[in-house]
C-alpha cells in the first residue's frame, strides 16, 4: 500500500493567477529558497517583524522549500509583499488569493431561454438582451440554505396542468384528503381537493382552462435540475392551484374570494402558504376583496399582484391616477409588480406608479410551461423497424409519450367473435368494413385490446372523417391505408408500437405581460421563506423591496425604483456570506468573508462553501477516511469525504508533489455525508499524494 499524504487545499489553482483576483488583506503566501531551513526562515521573517502563521510542513519537506502563510493585520498585503520580495532568502511572495465556487447553470435544457434568471446578453425569442439584466438567480441559489421545509405558493389563476412533467413533482398534495372517494375527508368544505380546487366550477378538477396559470406556475416553481425544460425561481417550493376561471380569461371576484378563503383555511390548518400569485386585474374597487386580502396578510400571506398591461392600445398606464385592482389596494401585504424588458427598461405595455407599484421584474419573452394538451401531437405506428404513415381517429385515446408496445393480432373486420383470446392486453388489427369505427373499437375494448389499428378496405390515401363519433374513454385508435394493413398482416406474428401523445418536451411557450413578471416575485417570496423560515411577513417583504437592484430609468416609476434581486434577499449586507449562515453560527451578521474566527486557516467564505463550521478548528475541508480500494490486487485507494449539495469538488494526485494530475471527473456534491472515490489505477510509485479542493472559476 503506497504512503498517502492528504494535502488539503480549499482552492485549486488551475491556471495563472490574475492580478485582479480577490485576496485576504494582510496575508501573504511565502516560499523560501531551496535549502533555507525553517529556523533561518523564521529568522528572516523576524527581521521584518513577521512570523509564519501557518507552516505547510509536508509540502515544505517534499518541495525542499519552506512554505507558509504570513499574517499581519497591521499591514496591507501590498506592504507585506514590498517588504519581503527583496529579502535574499525569499523565493516567492504572493497574496493569499480568494477563490469562489463557479455558479454552474442547472441542467434544465432550456435554461438559456430564461433571461430573467441569467442574462448574458443572449438572444431570446429574437431579442438580444443586456448582460446582467436579471434577478441574480445563480448567485442567490449558491448561497441558499439546504432545507426540507415545505413552502407553498398559491396560484390564483386559470388552473394548472398538474400532469406536466416539469410541474408534477412540485404540485402541493393534501395529506388529509383521500383521492376519488367523493368525501370531504379533511372537513374543509371541499370534496377531493387533493391538489387544490376549482372555485369557478366548484370541482376538484383543476385542469387549466387556458394556458395562463400553467405558465405562471412554471416561473414560480418548475422542477429544477431534472434535465427537463425549465427551472422555477423557487424550484424547491410547492404550487397550490387555485382555479378561478372557467374560460381561461374572465375571473369573478366571488371565485377569487372563495380561493382566498380556502388559502386562509389551509394556512390556519398548518399548510405553509407564504404567498398568493394574482396575475390578473380590473378597474373596480371591491371592499370585500380588500378586506379578504387584509385577512390573508393577518395570516402572514404575501399577495403578489400584477400591475397591469396598459390601455387598449397596449400603452402602460399610471396606476397612481388610474388604479387597477387588486394591485392598487393599499394593503401592506401586497407587492405590486411591473414588467421589465431584456434591456433593463420598463416594458412599453407595463403599468407603473410612483406610489402604487413596487418593483419591476422580467416580463417580456418569458419562457415557461404550458398545458401538455396544447403541445403538438405525435401519432405513429411501427412494426419492428418499419414505421408506417398513420392518423389518429377523431376522439382517439392517448398513449404515453413513449407509446404502447405489444404484440399485434388480426381481428378481421372487428365483428364480435373475430377477436382471438390473445388480443387481451395487446393491439388489435382491424379492417374497415360494414360496422362503424366506434363499433369496431368498442368490440376491441370489450375483447381487452389496449389499442386498435384500422386499415382501409379500398386503395386510397389516408383521408379525413375517420371518427369515433364523440368523446369518451376510448383506447388509442389509428387509421392506416390498405397497403399498410396488408403489410402488417403479412408480418404477423409481430410486435408493434403505437403512439398518440402530446409531445410534453415541447409543452413550453413565450408569453409577455405583468402576469409573467409577477410570478418572479412570488417565487422570490418562497425563496426568502426557504432561507429564513422564521421571518415575519414584513421582514420578507423588506428583503425583497429594500434590497432590489436600482435602475435609473425606473426612478419615479415605482416605490423602489428597481428590479428584483434574489441575491439581495439572502445576502442583505453584501458581504458574500448568506445572512442565515452568519446568524446560525454567530448570532449576528457582523462577520467578514475573510475572517477566520476558529483560526484553522480557512476563511468564513471557504468554510461556508465547503459546508463546514467556522467556529470549530476541527471542521474544515478534508478527506474523512481512506483505505484499501476494490482493486482485486489491493492496488487501489478508497478516498472518502463529505460534500454539500451542488458544490463541485476535485481530487488531484501526485507522486512527487511537483506535478499534479486530476483524479477522475469533477465531483458534484450530493449532500451525502460520505462521497467515495476509488483510485484504481495501478500504483507503481512507492508514494502517492492526494489533495482535495473546491473547483475555482
Helix (H, G, I), strand (E, B) or coil at 625: strand
Mean pLDDT, rounded, of the chain: 88
Could you give the CA distance from residue 180 to residue 177 in angstroms, rounded to a whole number? Answer: 9
Residue in this structure with the C-alpha cell 372517494, named with its chain if needed: 181
Residue 382 catalytic?
Answer: yes
Residue 286 catalytic?
Answer: no
Catalytic residue from among 108, 157, 198, 600: 157
Contacts of 193 (CB under 8 A, 6+ apart): 174, 177, 186, 204, 262
Nearest to 279 by CA among 159, 161, 377: 159
Residue in this structure with the C-alpha cell 415541447, named with its chain if needed: 506
Q: Cis before residue 520, ω within 30 degrees of 0?
A: no
Asked whether residue 261 carries a pLDDT value surpassing 60, the answer given is yes
Could you give the CA distance from residue 309 to residue 315 in angstroms, rounded to a whole number? Answer: 8
pLDDT 10s digits, 177-198: 998 899 999 999 899 999 999 9
Mean pLDDT of 3-12: 31
Model pTM score:
0.81
Catalytic residue from among 164, 212, 215, 520: 212
Q: Cis before residue 274, ω within 30 degrees of 0?
A: no
Beta bridge partners, 388, equal 381
Contacts of 103 (CB under 8 A, 6+ apart): 138, 139, 141, 142
pLDDT at 283: 87
Is beta strand 123-124 parallel, antiparallel or unpaired with respect to 404-410?
unpaired
Could you give the CA distance from residue 580 to residue 603 in angstroms, rounded to a whole number? Answer: 17
The angle at the Cα of 262, spanning 258 to 268, to the nearest 5 degrees, equals: 145
pLDDT at 606: 79
Pick the more confident residue, 653 or 128.
128
pLDDT at 628: 59
Could you give the CA distance from residue 103 to residue 111 in angstroms, rounded to a whole number? Answer: 13
pLDDT 10s digits, 140-171: 998 999 888 999 999 999 999 999 999 999 99
Pick the more confident residue, 7 or 680.
680
Could you give the CA distance from residue 85 to residue 101 in angstroms, rounded to a whole number? Answer: 30
Ranking 81-95, 446-460, 479-493 by mean pLDDT, the lowest is 81-95
Mean pLDDT of 201-209: 95
The angle at the Cα of 294, spanning 339 to 320, to the nearest 5 degrees, equals: 40
Cell of 464: 379525413
The band of 29, judged by pLDDT with boundaries at 50, 70 and 90, is confident
Let me know: does 363 contact 514? Beta carbons within 8 Å. Answer: yes
pLDDT at 1: 27
pLDDT at 10: 29
pLDDT at 647: 74
Residue in this structure with the C-alpha cell 414588467, named with its chain if needed: 339
What one-character-per-residue DSSP string does 349-404 give?
A: T--B-TTT--EEEE-SSEEEE--GGGSPEEEEEEETTEEE--EEPBTPPP--TT-E
Could you give the CA distance from residue 482 to residue 162 in angstroms, rounded to a whole number? Answer: 40
Rounded to 5 degrees, φ, ψ at 690 are -130, 150
Beta bridge partners, 405, equal 497
Asked whether residue 683 carries a pLDDT value surpassing 60, the answer given is no
C-alpha distances in Å from residue 573, one per residue of 408, 569, 577, 588: 67, 10, 9, 11
Mean pLDDT of 571-593: 91
* Alpha helices, H only, 96-228: 137-142, 212-221
User: DSSP secondary-structure letter at 627?
Assistant: E
pLDDT at 674: 63
User: DSSP secondary-structure letter at 492?
Assistant: -
Helix (H, G, I), strand (E, B) or coil at 203: strand
Nearest to 144 by CA among 10, 42, 234: 234
Let me know: does 166 contact 218? Beta carbons within 8 Å. Answer: yes
Cell of 369: 410551461
Let me know: does 276 contact 303? Beta carbons within 8 Å. Answer: yes
pLDDT 10s digits, 326-359: 999 999 999 999 999 999 999 999 999 999 999 9
Pick the more confident residue, 100 or 644.
644
C-alpha distances in Å from residue 61, one per residue of 31, 54, 601, 658, 686: 12, 15, 20, 12, 16
Could you give the CA distance from residue 423 to residue 433 in angstroms, rounded to a whole number? Answer: 19
Contacts of 71 (CB under 8 A, 6+ apart): 26, 27, 53, 54
Let me know: does 428 contact 452? Beta carbons within 8 Å. Answer: yes
Residue 547 catalytic?
Answer: no
pLDDT at 612: 79
The band of 415, judged by pLDDT with boundaries at 50, 70 and 90, is very high
Catalytic residue from among 382, 435, 613, 619: 382
pLDDT 10s digits, 273-319: 999 999 999 888 899 999 999 999 999 999 999 999 988 888 999 99
Cβ count within 10 A of residue 198: 25
pLDDT at 15: 22
pLDDT 10s digits, 495-514: 999 999 999 999 999 999 99
Let me know: does 528 contact 543? Beta carbons within 8 Å. Answer: yes
Amino acid at each position: 500500500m503506497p504512503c498517502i499524504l492528504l494535502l488539503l487545499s480549499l482552492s485549486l489553482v488551475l491556471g495563472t493567477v490574475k492580478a485582479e483576483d480577490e485576496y485576504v488583506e494582510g496575508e501573504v503566501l511565502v516560499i523560501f529558497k531551496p535549502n533555507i531551513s525553517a529556523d533561518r526562515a523564521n529568522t528572516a521573517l523576524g527581521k521584518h517583524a513577521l512570523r509564519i502563521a501557518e507552516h505547510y510542513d509536508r509540502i515544505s519537506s517534499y518541495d525542499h522549500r519552506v512554505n507558509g502563510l504570513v499574517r499581519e493585520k497591521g499591514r496591507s498585503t501590498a506592504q507585506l509583499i514590498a517588504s519581503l520580495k527583496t529579502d535574499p532568502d525569499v523565493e516567492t511572495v504572493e497574496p493569499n488569493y480568494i477563490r469562489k465556487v463557479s455558479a454552474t447553470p442547472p441542467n434544465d435544457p432550456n435554461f438559456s431561454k430564461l433571461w430573467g434568471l441569467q442574462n448574458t446578453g443572449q438572444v431570446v425569442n429574437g431579442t438580444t438582451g443586456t448582460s446582467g439584466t436579471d434577478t441574480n438567480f445563480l448567485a442567490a441559489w449558491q448561497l441558499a440554505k439546504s432545507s426540507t421545509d415545505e413552502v407553498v405558493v398559491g396560484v390564483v389563476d386559470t388552473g394548472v396542468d398538474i400532469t406536466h412533467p416539469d410541474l408534477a413533482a412540485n404540485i402541493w398534495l393534501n395529506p388529509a384528503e383521500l383521492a376519488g372517494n367523493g368525501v370531504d375527508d379533511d372537513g374543509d368544505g371541499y370534496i377531493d381537493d387533493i391538489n387544490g380546487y376549482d372555485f369557478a366550477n366548484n370541482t376538484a378538477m383543476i385542469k387549466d382552462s387556458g394556458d395562463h396559470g400553467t405558465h405562471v406556475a412554471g416561473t414560480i416553481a418548475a422542477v429544477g435540475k431534472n434535465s427537463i425544460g425549465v427551472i422555477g425561481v423557487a424550484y424547491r417550493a410547492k404550487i397550490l392551484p387555485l382555479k378561478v376561471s372557467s374560460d381561461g380569461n374572465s375571473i369573478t371576484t366571488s371565485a377569487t374570494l372563495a380561493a382566498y378563503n380556502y388559502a386562509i383555511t389551509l394556512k390556519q390548518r398548518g399548510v405553509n402558504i407564504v404567498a398568493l400569485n394574482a396575475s390578473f386585474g380590473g378597474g373596480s374597487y371591491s371592499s370585500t376583496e380588500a378586506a379578504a386580502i387584509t385577512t390573508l396578510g393577518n395570516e402572514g400571506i404575501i399577495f403578489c399582484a400584477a400591475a397591469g398591461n396598459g390601455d387598449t392600445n397596449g400603452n402602460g398606464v399610471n396606476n397612481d391616477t388610474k388604479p387597477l385592482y387588486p394591485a392598487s389596494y393599499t394593503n401592506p401585504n401586497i407587492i405590486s409588480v411591473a414588467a421589465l424588458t431584456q434591456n433593463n427598461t420598463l416594458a412599453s405595455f407595463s403599468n407603473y406608479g410612483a406610489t402604487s407599484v413596487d418593483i419591476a421584474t422580467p416580463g417580456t419573452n418569458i419562457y415557461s410551461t404550458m398545458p401538455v394538451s396544447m403541445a403538438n401531437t405525435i401519432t405513429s405506428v411501427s412494426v419492428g423497424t418499419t414505421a408506417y404513415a398513420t392518423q389518429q381517429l377523431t376522439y382517439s385515446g392517448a398513449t404515453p409519450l413513449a407509446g404502447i408496445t405489444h404484440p399485434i393480432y388480426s381481428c378481421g373486420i372487428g365483428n364480435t367473435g373475430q377477436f382471438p383470446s390473445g388480443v387481451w392486453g395487446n393491439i388489435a388489427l382491424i379492417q374497415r368494413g360494414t360496422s362503424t369505427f366506434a363499433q369496431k373499437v368498442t368490440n376491441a375494448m370489450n375483447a381487452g385490446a389496449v389499442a386498435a389499428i384500422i386499415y382501409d378496405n379500398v386503395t386510397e390515401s389516408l383521408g379525413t372523417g375517420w371518427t369515433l363519433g364523440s368523446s369518451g374513454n376510448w383506447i388509442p385508435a389509428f387509421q392506416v391505408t390498405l397497403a399498410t394493413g396488408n403489410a402488417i398482416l403479412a408480418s404477423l406474428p409481430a410486435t408493434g408500437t403505437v403512439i398518440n401523445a402530446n409531445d410534453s418536451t415541447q409543452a413550453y411557450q413565450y408569453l409577455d405581460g405583468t402576469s409573467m413578471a409577477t410570478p418572479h416575485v412570488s417565487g422570490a417570496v418562497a425563496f426568502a421563506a426557504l432561507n429564513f423560515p422564521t421571518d415575519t411577513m414584513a421582514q420578507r417583504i423588506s428583503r425583497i423591496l429594500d434590497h432590489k437592484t436600482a435602475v435609473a430609468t425606473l426612478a419615479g416609476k415605482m416605490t423602489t425604483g428597481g428590479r428584483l434581486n434574489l441575491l439581495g434577499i439572502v445576502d442583505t449586507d453584501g458581504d458574500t456570506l448568506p445572512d442565515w449562515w452568519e446568524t446560525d453560527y454567530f448570532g449576528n451578521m457582523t462577520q467578514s468573508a475573510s475572517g477566520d474566527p476558529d483560526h484553522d486557516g480557512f476563511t468564513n467564505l471557504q468554510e461556508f462553501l465547503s459546508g463546514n463550521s467556522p467556529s470549530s478548528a476541527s471542521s474544515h475541508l478534508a478527506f474523512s477516511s481512506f483505505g484499501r480500494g476494490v482493486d482485486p490486487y489491493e492496488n487501489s485507494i478508497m478516498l472518502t469525504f463529505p460534500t454539500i449539495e451542488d458544490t463541485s469538488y476535485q481530487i488531484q494526485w501526485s507522486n512527487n508533489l511537483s506535478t499534479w494530475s486530476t483524479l477522475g471527473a469533477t465531483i458534484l456534491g450530493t449532500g451525502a455525508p460520505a462521497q467515495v472515490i476509488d483510485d484504481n489505477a495501478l500504483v507503481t510509485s512507492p508514494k502517492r499524494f492526494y489533495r482535495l479542493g473546491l473547483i475555482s472559476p
